[in-house]
Structure 1
């Protein structure tokens, strides 16, 4: 699995998300400012609701822009066993049922599922519960997280 290609996939997906958020913000702004949506009484709130929606979509677009900037600056380093898992690590975990999952630990804002060949890879940030639990771990270590009332345990099979 190539970390650079995974990073490019994240950037492409974020660019698509940004286009959708910007289009949604434009549409909501046009709805909010359209002459047919001028409030005729205090109960006529379509224009006001559209304005709130436009503001929310603009904030979402800005958050995606920040994520894109973070991912563009991100330089995943090779795994160093003396430091353990760090940002940029590609990790294979197994659970108690021997189900494997591949994770790519990246900067905030890129949580998504990608494919590396025919292998699914979950992108998570170090701020996610599992991402935090992985930091500093090495091959063979066990990792546990609490999800609602359930405790999940994994073993680190390999790290790149």
Structure 2
């Protein structure tokens, strides 16, 4: 797996997410300021609701801008022997199935596909992130969610 290709795919996914959020924010802003959104009675709350939606969408755009800045820093991290933010990690489960994770600063759950392999962005706040951070090659990673426990081995850290 080429870490540079993974980083490019994550950048592209973040930019696409930003473009989608900007479009939603613009649409919500237009709806909030349209003349048909003006309140007709004191009980008409459409304009207020539209304003809240526009504000929320603008906050979403700001959050994605912050995530892109955080990822830019994580992309420049050097490879180390321990899993940390900016690491691309391959785990192998008990059935010899490979799982790829990018340890990111935010946007946990973002998934990209590179060379027909799914790579999931995880953060330190997630259960798998807590179990994985600071692990080394060959270490066992134990993930317990509810009553289900899964075991993995750290196979690759890039």
* TM-score over 0.5 for the pair: yes
Give CA deviations for 1:34-79 in whole Å, capped at 9, x if unaligned: 1111111243222211111111111110000001111223313123
The equivalent of 2:124 in structure 1 is: 126
The equivalent of 1:78 in structure 2 is: 79
Matched, 1:96 2:97: no
The equivalent of 1:15 in structure 2 is: 15
- How many angstroms apart in 1 are the aligned matches of 2:108 and 2:73? 13
- How many angstroms apart in 2 are the aligned matches of 1:31 and 1:149? 46
Q: TM-score, normalized by length of structure 1?
A: 0.87
User: Helix, strand or coil: the match of 2:102?
Assistant: strand
- How many angstroms apart in 2 are the aligned matches of 1:49 and 1:125? 33
- How many angstroms apart in 2 are the aligned matches of 1:123 and 1:100? 15
- How many angstroms apart in 1 are the aligned matches of 2:120 and 2:63? 20
- How many angstroms apart in 1 are the aligned matches of 2:55 and 2:147? 36
User: Where does structure 2 lack aligned partners over 5 or more consecutive residues?
Assistant: none
8 A contact 1:108–1:127 mirrored in 2? no
Matched, 1:159 2:154: no
- How many angstroms apart in 2 are the aligned matches of 1:7 and 1:136? 21
The structural deviation recorded for 1:110 is 5.7
The structural deviation recorded for 1:157 is 2.3
User: Where does structure 1 lack aligned partners over 5 or more consecutive residues?
Assistant: none
Number of residue-to-residue matches in the alignment: 157
Q: TM-score, normalized by length of structure 2?
A: 0.87
> How do 1:47-86 and structure 2 match up within 5 A?
47-74=47-74, 75-80=76-81, 84-86=82-84
Q: Give runs of ≥4 in structure 1 deviating > 3 Å.
A: none
